[in-house]
Amino acid sequence: MKAQFDFIIIGAGILGAAVARELACKFPRKSIVVIEKEAGPAYHQSGRNSGVIHAGVYYEPGSLKAQFCREGLDATISLCKQYSIPFEQCGKIVVATNEQEEKHLAHLYERCTKNSLNPQMLTAKQIVRKEPHINGVAGMWVKQTGITDFKQVTDCLFENATGKAPVTFLYSSRVCQINEEPDNIAVTIQNNGRQRTIKGDYLISCAGVFADELIHLQGLSCDFRIVPFRGEYYRLNSRFDGVSQRLIYPVPDPSMPFLGVHLTKMIGGYTTVGPNAVLAAGREAYAGLNICPQEWWRMMSFPGLYKLLWQYKRSVVSELITSLSKQQYVKQINRYCRMINVDDLLPYRPGIRAQAVSLNGKLVHDFKFVKSDRALHVGNAPSPAATSAIPIAKSIVSQLG
């Protein structure tokens, strides 16, 4: 196999797949290589998310998140329709359960309208008419939100890419060195104990939780660290497969960084609840006790982590309690759906959210990119990155000329 390509992509998640397709469409005669440390695509965040096609409810108007999410909503649904990928534009209801949450809901309504959505406010009676098993003092219905299987979306994007340009996949290949020269960029990979060097004209890194590591590996300046948060989900007993026709979300506490435990109908007909957000012991520590000493030291030696945890100490304690106690987890759900109890929670796959944190301990809320002459690293791409993958890829490739 040749060792010289026009474009090198690191990461075979949905962002890497979207970039590969966009490059193949724009440069059909150029060669592309995709490097992935796992044995196949969408092994981590892209294959372990809630499957929600977000509409842009929560994001600051004018931010990249708001822009790419709105564009990505339409692009994702269009792709699903074109290639018969299962999806449903079922909508979501954000439920307020007390007077304070109702005030926060009014703020969300304003944000939705600024993000070109058309939300509808609901009274308690209107909520029950739409969703008989859901209770709240007020609600907001956003009909554009949908669901799909992002693993299938990822596979489709790669199939599109391979149909339009020469694409090579190097799976089970871990990047161990990146060297940028005036006339090329070289990536050294390790596969089955052997090293080899791949050269290209340009590199796009979509490395998820390893984003900061690869930025440092290239010798670029990086003013943040990736902190992994484990999201724990449960699948509900099959008697709840039709508990709601729409996605049901609580009103998020604006002083907290995450959205809260929500009720999600899934492609496949079943329902999940989650996620919470607990500091993970490592970037791939899906099991709570799966501690890698090297990973643990990487996090514990980052001063910004302690500032972050102190800033959100109330949320840290609350999320940890839901992780340790199913009863406390269920209490989060019972605020808007009283009929679910502990025995209804069945095991389901957890996920890891790659969250960039600045050196002074602040969450990096928007998408973030780090560039050099021959490389672009996707530094921060948390939710709604899956929804936004296609417009993110278009933006990246448009910068290549």
Cβ atoms 291, 281 nearer than 8 A: yes
307 in a domain, yes or no? no
Predicted TM-score (pTM) above 0.85 = yes
289 in a domain, yes or no? no
Distances (CA, A) of 359 to 187, 297, 352, 355, 377: 27, 16, 21, 13, 18
Cβ atoms 197, 203 nearer than 8 A: no
| Structural domain of 401 | 1-88+147-223+360-401
122 in a domain, yes or no? no
H helices present in 165-312, as ranges = 211-217, 293-300, 303-311
Cβ atoms 271, 257 nearer than 8 A: no
CATH number at 387 reads: 3.50.50.60
257 in a domain, yes or no? no
253 in a domain, yes or no? no
56 in a domain, yes or no? yes
3-state DSSP assignment of residue 263:
strand
Cβ neighbours of 269 (radius 10 Å): 9
114 in a domain, yes or no? no
Joined tokens for residue 372:
């050099």
H or E element, residue 78? helix 64-82
How do the pLDDT tens digits run along the chain, 401 residues long? 568 999 999 999 999 999 999 999 999 999 999 999 999 999 999 999 999 999 999 999 999 999 999 999 999 999 999 999 999 999 999 999 999 999 999 999 999 999 999 999 999 999 999 999 999 999 999 999 999 999 999 999 999 999 999 999 999 999 999 999 999 999 999 998 899 999 999 999 999 999 999 999 999 999 999 999 999 999 999 999 999 999 999 998 776 667 889 999 999 999 999 999 999 888 998 886 666 788 888 888 899 999 999 999 988 898 989 999 999 999 999 999 999 999 999 999 999 999 999 999 999 989 999 999 999 999 999 889 999 999 999 999 998 86
329 in a domain, yes or no? no
Number of structural domains the chain divides into: 1
